[in-house]
Amino acid sequence: MRRVISAIVLNEHGVLSRIVGLFSGRGYNIDSLTVAPIPQSEFSRVTITTSGDARVFEQIVKQLHKLIPTYKVIDDSGEYVEKEMALIKISLNEDFSGLDAILKSYNAIVANANEQYIIIMGCDNSARIDCFIKVMKKYNPIQIVRSGSVMMEV
């Protein structure tokens, strides 16, 4: 089962290592990890996507609450908004027929272009990004980069 946790932590040395240690110490895999400072504060938001059983997930959430630099833990049991982003580089030599319709259906845009390639950016929930990447493979992408999830409680 796919799970998402977001923790607001104090910006101090070793916090990320301690959080990752909670997962690795229990044999729990991290599928994606996104960390960014919260503007105009001394905190950062850490968003972790993982998969596994509910019992171990509950233990990790409880342990995160006990970490001293952790201010708040939000898990996916309540209402939240989650988004991921994908960047896809495509050569200008490709046939772009149908690309406009794909971009509109996935809320994607051309984020950058030069004389050799274009870079498409899509931003949506994880399942939609999976589909977006599959659809874009028909254009023979040169490179695909995918972010981790970010999550915010509603």
Q: What is the pLDDT of residues 120-136, one digit of tens each?
A: 999 999 999 999 999 99
Q: 142: Cβ–Cβ under 8 A, 6 or more apart, which residues? A: 89, 90, 91, 117
Q: Spell 32-56 as b/e; 16+ CB within 10 A means b.
A: bbbbeeeeeeebbbbbbbbebeeee
pLDDT of 68 higher than 80: no
Looking at residue 120, its pLDDT comes to 98
Q: What phi and psi, each to the nearest 5 degrees, are found at residue 133?
A: -65, -40
Instruction: Output the six-digit token pair for 139.
Output: 């254009």
| Mean pLDDT value of segment 14-24 | 88
CA–CA dist 61, 48 (Å, integer) = 11
Looking at residue 44, its pLDDT comes to 94
Q: Name the DSSP class of 96.
A: -
Q: Name the DSSP class of 138.
A: G
pTM for the full model?
A: 0.84
